A = this chain, B = another copy of it.
Amino acid sequence: MADKPLILVTNDDGITAPGIRTLISVMNEIGDVVVVAPDSPQSAMGHAITINSTLQCHKIKIDDGPQIEYSCSGTPADCVKLGINEILQKKPDLCVSGINHGSNASINVIYSGTMSAAIEASIEGVPAIGFSLLDYSWKANFERIKDIAKKITIKALSEGIPSGTALNVNIPNLEKKEIKGIKVCNQANAYWIEKFDKRTNPQGREYYWLTGEFINNDKSTESDEWALKNGFVSVVPVKFDLTNYEVIDKIKSWNL
């Protein structure tokens, strides 16, 4: 079995979340699996890393699967750094993150711990895929999307994800037969309008809960939001070079 790919699995909902347990079971069918995942939920952690405190990481056994698992005190990006540079003896062939409980499509990719893990892997030269299901419930039905995750993973392993790129895969919350296919897309130009729910604590001090309304003004049929709304799985190739090359000449013309 020397040819089996080595797959690093992580997420942001924590190592016991149903989403990652499903992803582990799918990856066990494809390769040798090592899990390095957060010991507690790390949603919306963006690309945070732990530099001013210490990291704990210990081996753990959660189910009877063949995978090796480590529970880590850090962020998703920390888990990937630890996995690739400290725990694994050789570079993994693939890193998969998720399956996230909820959407990471459009602008959500920026805040996503799931995708920060995938992007971190791509920075480290490891092909990576982040998976998300558009169902925020802890009891979301992940079973029905196992085939989709498996298909995309096998294809990515055989074709090879272009370097400097991670795939952001979002799956609509539909029955298997209702899913129309898989569509390669761009990130929709959508955003959140924040509403802060202002409250007063028993000591009379004000505090806020962050809430928001999602606004999608992107009319393109090439966007991930369009795909998801129309019953497709969306696959967006994501990069970590944030340079807006299109405006470089414009800024140069400022003659700073």
- Residues of chain A touching chain B, judged by Cβ–Cβ distance below 8 Å, are 41, 43-52, 54-58, 77-78, 81-82, 84-86, 107, 109-111, 116, 119, 123-124, 151-152, 155-156, 159, 162, 164-165, 167-168, 181-182, 184, 186-187, 189, 191, 193-196, 198-199, 205-210, 235-245, 247-248, 250-252, 254, 256
A152 to chain B: closest residue by CB = B256
The distance in angstroms between the C-alpha atoms of A82 and B41, with both chains bound, is 23
The distance in angstroms between the C-alpha atoms of A256 and B236, with both chains bound, is 13
CB distance from A186 to the nearest CB of B (A): 4
Q: Which residues of B contact A207 (CB under 8 A)?
A: 54-56
Q: Which residues of B contact A252 (CB under 8 A)?
A: 184
CB < 8 Å neighbour of A119 from B49, B82, B110, B205: B110
Check A47 against B110 for contact (C-beta < 8 Å): yes
The distance in angstroms between the C-alpha atoms of A37 and B250, with both chains bound, is 31
Q: Which residues of B contact A58 (CB under 8 A)?
A: 206
Q: Which residues of B contact A51 (CB under 8 A)?
A: 43-44, 210
Could you list 14 further interchain pairs (A-B, Cβ under 8 angstroms) beyond the known A189-B241, A237-B251, A238-B243? Answer: A43-B51, A44-B48, A46-B116, A56-B206, A57-B206, A86-B194, A107-B240, A110-B123, A162-B247, A162-B250, A184-B256, A187-B243, A236-B242, A237-B243
